[in-house]
Amino acid sequence: MKKLLALTAYILLICMTPPLQAQKHQSASTEIGLLAGLSLYSGDLAPRELGLYFNSLYPAVGVFGRVNPHRMLSLRLGLTQAKVGGDDTNSSYPDRMLNFRSSITEFALSTEISPFQLGDYRQRLVVAPYLFGGGAIYRFNPQALYDGSWINLQPLGTEGQGLASYQPKYSLTQVAVPLGVGLKFTFRQAWSLGAEFGARKLFNDYLDDVTSAPVNYLDVLTGNGTLAASLSNPQIKEPQDVTYTRGGQFDDWYYIGGITLSFRLQGGRNRPGRGMGCPTF
């Protein structure tokens, strides 16, 4: 709520600011916008590596700023809050009995390239498809439902993380590469309404806390405790010396798609010198 109030105050301040004097040269336009949509996960706890799983869709929201130095090129900086989840009851291995959910906070810098545009700003409507790609830093926190409570998985070391001869505990802050496509409609040079869908290429397989690394049940039980062992392999009811892999061949990805709405704060490709002010119709 505080962020929303701050954003509202900023917009009101801009609207109360008199337009700047005309400039001799065109300048890059600047926009601020919102994203509302859905997020989706694919990985070891998904029905398939790729696909649309309606029972695994979660809401995603974000804010972003966009600078347009050229009609074919835009630079975008965004902050997005999303959520993902998966359950073996919907996966290819229902007897494995694993599940997870995770919130995701993503900070991304992307480049948007529009190969062509339809329409003309003088006609008050421009339609532009675009491709985007860039870099992102994201924060996640996988949890599993156990006895009616959601348990943080990373501190437990369900695959022996932190023990001798096992991997160290993974970081909850990672990097990703966003890649996607979109379509944007710009009205009267001020408002833009768009739709986009993007995938995030990850460089670790711990989004769902499940990998293909071999795990020994007694190692986890004696080294990381009963809860870690129970969540590592819920099929095992009595301690036993058995080695298994929890995951399969699917790498972890997450996807975000939605509707964007933005308005121009400053500059313009076809109306140089308009300066900063509120969008007009």
Assigned domain for 258 exists = yes
- Is 81 inside any structural domain? yes
Q: Which of 112-116, 133-137, 175-179 has the lowest mean pLDDT?
A: 112-116
245: left (phi over 0), alpha (psi -120 to 50) or beta: beta
The yes-or-no verdict on residue 242 having pLDDT over 90 is: yes
CATH number of the domain bearing residue 16: 2.40.160.20
Residues 114-143 as b/e (b if ≥16 CB within 10 A, e otherwise) read beebeeebeeeebebebebebebebebebb
Residue 256 placed within a domain = yes
Domain count, the chain: 1
With residue 231 as reference, give the H or E element that holds it.
helix 226-232
Q: How high does pLDDT run on average in the chain?
A: 85
Q: Is the pLDDT of residue 122 over 70?
A: no
- How far is it, in rounded angstroms, from Cα 199 to Cα 134? 11
Tell me whether residue 238 is in a domain: no
**Full domain range(s) for residue 257:** 2-215+248-268
- The alpha carbon torsion through 38, 43, 48, 52 (nearest 10 deg) reads 0
Per residue in 150-165, pLDDT tens? 999 999 999 999 999 9
The answer to the question of residue 123 being in a domain is yes
> Among all chains, which residue has been given the structure tokens 């071999």?
214
The answer to whether position 228 is within a domain reads no
Q: Determine the residue type at 53.
A: Y
Would you call 6 helix, strand, or coil by DSSP? helix
Is 231 within the bounds of a domain? no
Q: Which pLDDT band holds residue 92 (cuts at 50, 70, 90)? A: confident
The answer to whether position 18 is within a domain reads yes
What is the Cα Rg of the chain in Å? 23
